[in-house]
Chain A
Amino acid sequence: MNPEQILFILFGAVSLIGAIAVISFRHPIYSALSLIVTFFAQAGLFVLLGAHFVAAAQVIVYAGAIMVLFLFVIMLLNLGTLSVKGAMGRKLKGLAIILGILFAAEGIYIAVNALNDTAVASAEPATESVTTTTYQIGELLFSKYLLPFEVTSLILLAALIGVIVLVKREGQEES
């Protein structure tokens, strides 16, 4: 086993265990903290894949900004475990897990077999330690994908206005 395989198994196992912890903890705070662990492990996987910019963005945007928002809302609402009561029945839960396992089998089948005929599989495997520099990403982002990039800023603006309207209306009704 070379170091890359060991690191892949390590990060992959941590991210999977974190993901399973997210859906099995009862208290939302523990779920959120497990999700942060998953995000960090995935940032490690991105580094292994030579995508340093994406790894940094993952830590800053997901583990930083988005998870802080989650934790803030959980603590603001002070939910505790109150919303756990009235959880779905055991039968439905079992059915959901069986369907999920079927879904995973399909996904693995596609990943292993169905990609054989596509351009992805026919491309010669990249040589070791290919890294994508931020320069390359920036060049693509500001030339070929300039329009989607600008639309992205519109999405953020729309989200900003939407959040302000959603929260502000509440305050005016009360006063």
Chain B
Amino acid sequence: MMNAQLPQETCIIVGASHGGVNLAFALRKEGYTGRIQLIDTDKRVPYHRPPLSKKHLISDEPAGQLLKPLQAYEKADIDLQLGVTVIDVDPSEKTVTLDDGSSHVYTQLVLATGAQPIIPPISGVASAAHLYTLRTANDAQAIAQAFNTCQQKRVVVIGGGYVGLEAAASLRQCGAQVTVLERESRLLARVTAPDMSDYFYRLHQENRVAVFNAKNVSEIQTHNNENLVICSDGSQYPADIIVVGVGVHVNTHLAEKAGLKIDNGIAVDANNQTSDDSIYAIGDCCAQFNTHYQRWLRLESVQNALEQAKVVAAVICAKPPKVNAIPWFWSDQYAVKLQMVGLSQGYDKVVVRHECDNPQSFSVWYFNGDELLSVDAVNHAKAYVLGTKFITQRQRVNISKLQDSSLALSSDLVVQV
């Protein structure tokens, strides 16, 4: 029986990926004593997503490196409900309805609903054979299975963003014949400077992946399980497998049902609280004002989901949240390790720094006037680490010293004020 003076709180978390899972555990760490229901449509025990396009496509390991072992949920008294979908929310009654017909009351509701890959409305896309997006462990497994069963290993990747390029690298390393078709005039156009686009273009070319920019796929013809990917300029590429990586739609349908404010994602404040006091949103699905960059951002990254999970856990437990406003990302392609910190949008100057003692390493530094906005570091953790410190502390970097690769990369590059 519930004690009237000590009502049992319930936190319902919708979405059990990086954000949702870490929130559940962070709540316990912060001392939350109520019920925690962690719900996801995906039947699999929650797993790491980044390796899906990287090592899981090429290793024999089954897709799905677990975020936490299954016993850990039980031990932390987290009620993990997998394979069920939250289909409705009633914010006035504070209830959610699941597709199994059950209804649950919450004290706090956290939407960690993520996003889903876009399938572009290309003619013939619905009837294409072995066409996959890549976001879930099921997707990765399906691609690996198709790869193992197809006689010919011709893969066309539609979209030259990180997911597409990582999938291209992984499948190439398995021996596939890979073609990447990018709609923009360069790879990673939305997120990096032309120098980085050129570098990744060359990297894939050197690994004998055919990369084509400015290719707008207009039609897919499929006969006997063989696809022909046709571009608007008339070029054609045969494909046994097609991987689509052209961005995501944010999952906002529950937020819409709850009548929450939505603007390029579920709008949240610094505490990740939505326009409803009892509902929070974290991860890819939410948009938040970034205090460092002074603008609204919706980030798609593991780190962002984890940081926001910690913030919400602290807020729910009435503790001061620790906020880190500097985003970071990573990508692994072939033997290349790319680490990125900060956001480059709005840059007006780029410094590309090569290292004399290591030809495999370089870094790209993005500035707006004097202000360092972001750093892309290729095989260069030192540049990444220093960039993180400079950006976080808003330190001014001596640009001419930075450009001089005879000077070591160190905190001596900071302009003393």
A binds B: no
Residues of A within 8 A of B (CB): none
Residues of B within 8 A of A (CB): none
